[in-house]
Amino acid sequence: MALFAGISDWVARRLNQHSETARLDLEQAYEAALYICALESEYAGGRSLQRLPPQLSSQQRSWLQAELRQTLRTLHRHRQRYVRRQPVQLQAGLALGRPGMRSSTISYEKLQLIDQVLERYGQPPTHVSTPDSSPLMTSKNNVKPTPNPEGEDEYLISQTSFLPRSIFGAFADLRQQLDPKAEDQLVQNFRSRKGKTLIALRFVLLLILVPLLTQQISKSFIVGPIVDRLRSEDPEAIFLNFQMEEEAFVKLNQYQQLLRFQHYLKEAPPLTEAEIDERVREKAEEIAAEYRHESSNAIKNIFADLISAAAFAILLISSREEIQLLKSFIDEVVYGISDSAKAFIIILFTDVFVGFHSPHGWEVILESIARHFGVPENRSFIFLFIATFPVILDTIFKYWIFRYLNRISPSAVATYRNMNE
């Protein structure tokens, strides 16, 4: 009896796991369908993206076509996975004793939207079960697109027709060009793109200026006075680490040797040992003041940078719409660049950060960061970082080229390989 109960629990867990996986596939397919509908609403007036308005630029057309192809692949892949797992999902509901009619209804409504999008772009939907657990039937017989007076012709064009689709597209373009409101629509679309571009550029400036201004203002008016007051109470606190102390000792020793050297060459008036000691003491006080200021500045940088990072994070969290506009703007700019320019930027980036001469640059960067925060330079850590991080970065970059860029812009990858050879 216990064995039977254990087997039943194991079967229930497995079915529940399959059901959850199928639900995630449906959600991802539904999100992809919503994204395509959003693109249609924003750039094509709610119509199909197969026939874009003539006022769109070539960069926008290229970007939209690439986004459509990639999203349709994602939509179709998760839709197929959901269909394969659907019988297991139904068994899971029956085995657990809760078929979930409300959940099935919601899933069926999502499938309606998904299948409408697939049919609109000439991809036939796959067989699925209806929420009332009826036998398998095609979505084409059950899912009917919502009537749309403006987008009805696009739906008809997407179906199999006895005439080429380009003929329908030519008539639709001619009708749109003869529309008396076409000019107003063109001006409106131009103003919309201009406004989005200005918002994206202003957001880029904010991403640069807000952290810098926050760092400088907090360092000068908040962190600076507090650190100066606390360090003034301890006059012996000059050096933050032993490396600063060694550098100060070398500078003082060089100054003392320079005084004696000038005296021996008779380029300076003769000095007694007391005068030499007095000048060395003055130089030591000058060096101590210099390193006291550098140590205080390093402490200020730590707290000011933390405040600046917090301000940057708050700006990102509170600007989700601006981030989407900036992403769209960057995509348009990237897709508008020629293949040779893309290959040039890729080669420049890789040579600077992961190329033959990159270790010297990384060494300078790490030393500057260490001095900025008053941390002693650890040569072993620097060499270990240079030996590992550029290699990891190069691997990630090559994977990105193989996985994404090769799919989005194969010609750019071919140009990159030819230029790199």
DSSP string of 1-42, one letter each residue:
-HHHHHHHHHHHHHHHHHHHHHHHHHHHHHHHHHHHHHHHHH
In eight-state DSSP terms, residue 404 is I
pLDDT over 70 at 24, yes or no = yes
Give me the pLDDT at residue 248, please. Answer: 93
What mean pLDDT comes out for the span 232-252? 88
Contact in structure between 48 and 40 (CB atoms under 8 Å): yes
How far is it, in rounded angstroms, from Cα 207 to Cα 40?
A: 30
Range from 2-16, 20-34, 393-407 carrying the lowest mean pLDDT: 2-16
Could you tell me which residues come within 8 angstroms of residue 224 by beta carbon, excluding any fewer than 6 positions away? 300
pLDDT digits 0-9 by tens, 84-140: 766 544 444 434 444 444 456 667 777 888 888 888 887 655 544 444 443 333 333
Provide mean pLDDT across the span 23-42: 79
Mean pLDDT, residues 245-267 taken together: 87
The highest-confidence range among 10-24, 211-225, 228-242, 337-351, by mean pLDDT, is 211-225
As a whole number, mean pLDDT of residues 28-33 equals 81
For 124-172, the pLDDT digits (tens) are: 555 444 444 433 333 333 444 444 433 334 433 444 455 555 565 566 6
- Where helices occur in 219-272 by DSSP H, the ranges are 224-232, 242-264
196-223 burial code (b ≥16 CB/10 A, e <16): beebbeebeeebeeebeebbeebbeeeb
**Whole-number Å distance between alpha carbons of 180 and 183:** 7
Is the predicted pLDDT of residue 223 greater than 90, yes or no? yes
Structure tokens at 285: 């006080």
99 vs 228, more confident = 228
Task: Name the band, by pLDDT with cuts 50, 70 and 90, for residue 204.
Answer: very high
DSSP-assigned states of every residue in 259-323:
HHHHHHTTSS----HHHHHHHHHHHHHHHHHHHHHHHHHHHHHHHHHHHHHHHHHHHHHT-HHHH
pLDDT at 311: 96
Max mean pLDDT range (74-78, 159-163, 307-311, 331-335)? 307-311
Over pLDDT 70: what percentage of the chain? Answer: 74
Lowest mean pLDDT among 252-261, 283-292, 302-311, 331-340: 331-340
> Is a pLDDT exceeding 70 seen at residue 259?
yes
412's tokens = 């750019």
More reliable by pLDDT, 201 or 6: 201
* Total Cβ atoms within 10 A of residue 117: 28
- The helix/strand/coil state of 94 is helix
Q: What is the pLDDT of residue 154?
A: 40
**Residues composing the chain:** 421
**Predicted confidence (pLDDT) at residue 396 exceeds the cutoff of 80:** yes
Residue 273 CA to residue 265 CA, distance in Å, equals: 17
Mean pLDDT taken over the chain: 77
pLDDT in tens, 42-73: 777 777 887 777 767 766 777 788 788 888 88
Please list, in sequence order, all residues whose beta carbon lies within 8 angstroms of the beta carbon of residue 41, skipping any fewer than 6 positions away.
Answer: none
The CB density around residue 346, as the number of other CB atoms within 10 Å, is: 20
Report the pLDDT averaged over residues 324-349: 84
Residue 97: CB partners within 8 Å, gap ≥ 6?
A: none
Q: Which of 95, 301, 305, 327 is nearest to 196 (CA)?
A: 327
The three-class DSSP label of residue 54 is coil
Report the candidate in 245, 251, 237, 241 with the shortest Cα–Cα distance to residue 377. 241
